[in-house]
Chains A and B, each alone.
Chain A
Amino acid sequence: EPEVTQTPSHQVTQMGQEVILRCVPISNHLYFYWYRQILGQKVEFLVSFYNNEISEKSEIFDDQFSVERPDGSNFTLKIRSTKLEDSAMYFCASRDTNSPLHFGNGTRLTVT
């Protein structure tokens, strides 16, 4: 069964550094998402992406965040200048028009 893949599984970075989290959605899917889960808290919506543009974003998704689909397969989340509070598990998800969301295994980001 096709799946969403995320790399790396764990990323450690220093405060103020830029980080790029990578995702390969399921190949025929059209809608792409990023969510995050701070330890012990809810899974929170960050951003949705369709037709090569952001379709919705949350309050969390400020100017420090950006997403990109640089080619036909990858979907990336960039954090320009990481803060301690960005430490979380980041989940990528994708779906087609009539399917539920398919999630990747997540990238654990640790900002020190």
Chain B
Amino acid sequence: GDSVTQMEGPVTLSEEAFLTINCTYTATGYPSLFWYVQYPGEGLQLLLKATKADDKGSNKGFEATYRKETTSFHLEKGSVQVSDSAVYFCALSAAGANSKLTFGKGITLSVRP
């Protein structure tokens, strides 16, 4: 079945450091790929998405590129801020109007001043 694998955490960075969070997936067909973020005490929010190979999703300085050849969707940000401290989830959705999301385990990012 479909699955998403994220790198082990937690990750602690200093402000303005470069961030990479790895995500790889296994799926049949051509899934859509997502990054969701969960700030402390809040629900899951969509951060960015990509629906086909070589698409780049971007939002709030974060980027991720849909790499079909490596089945990856790594999240990057050039300069993290303290306010980026949150839990980040990679997810996929198989094709279809009613398809569910399959999530990775999530990784906690802490950014120190």
A residues neighboring B (CB under 8 Å): 4, 6, 31, 33, 35, 41-45, 48, 50, 55-56, 91, 93, 97, 100-106
> A35 vs B49: C-alpha distance in the bound complex, in angstroms?
20
Q: Are B100 and A97 in contact (CB under 8 A)?
A: no
CB distance from A72 to the nearest CB of B (A): 20
Q: Which of B36, B43, B46, B104 has the most CB of A within 10 A?
A: B43
Q: Which 8 A-B pairs have the closest CB atoms?
A: A43-B103, A103-B44, A105-B43, A103-B43, A45-B100, A42-B105, A100-B46, A104-B43
CB distance from A84 to the nearest CB of B (A): 22
Main secondary structure of the interface of B (DSSP, over half): strand
Q: Are A100 and B34 in contact (CB under 8 A)?
A: yes
B residues neighboring A (CB under 8 Å): 34, 36, 41-46, 49, 89, 91, 97-98, 100-106
CB distance from B52 to the nearest CB of A (A): 15
CB distance from A68 to the nearest CB of B (A): 19
With A41-B105, A43-B106 in contact, do A103 and B45 touch (Cβ < 8 Å)? yes
Find B101's partner among A6, A97, A101, A106 (CB 8 Å cutoff).
Answer: A101
Residues of B within 8 A of A102 (CB): 46
Question: Count the A-B residue pairs with Cβ separation under 8 angstroms: how many?
Answer: 47
Residues of B within 8 A of A100 (CB): 34, 46, 49
Taking A56-B98, A103-B36, A106-B43 as known contacts, 4 extra A-B pairs with beta carbons closer than 8 A to each other, sorted by chain A number, are A35-B101, A93-B44, A100-B49, A101-B101
B4 (CB) vs chain A CBs: closest residue: A42
Residues of B within 8 A of A56 (CB): 98, 100
> A104 vs B45: C-alpha distance in the bound complex, in angstroms?
9
Residues of A within 8 A of B103 (CB): 35, 42-44
Q: Are B89 and A91 in contact (CB under 8 A)?
A: no
Residues of A within 8 A of B98 (CB): 31, 48, 50, 55-56
With A48-B98, A97-B97 in contact, do A43 and B43 touch (Cβ < 8 Å)? no
Q: Are A48 and B100 in contact (CB under 8 A)?
A: yes
> A91 vs B45: C-alpha distance in the bound complex, in angstroms?
12
> A102 vs B42: C-alpha distance in the bound complex, in angstroms?
12
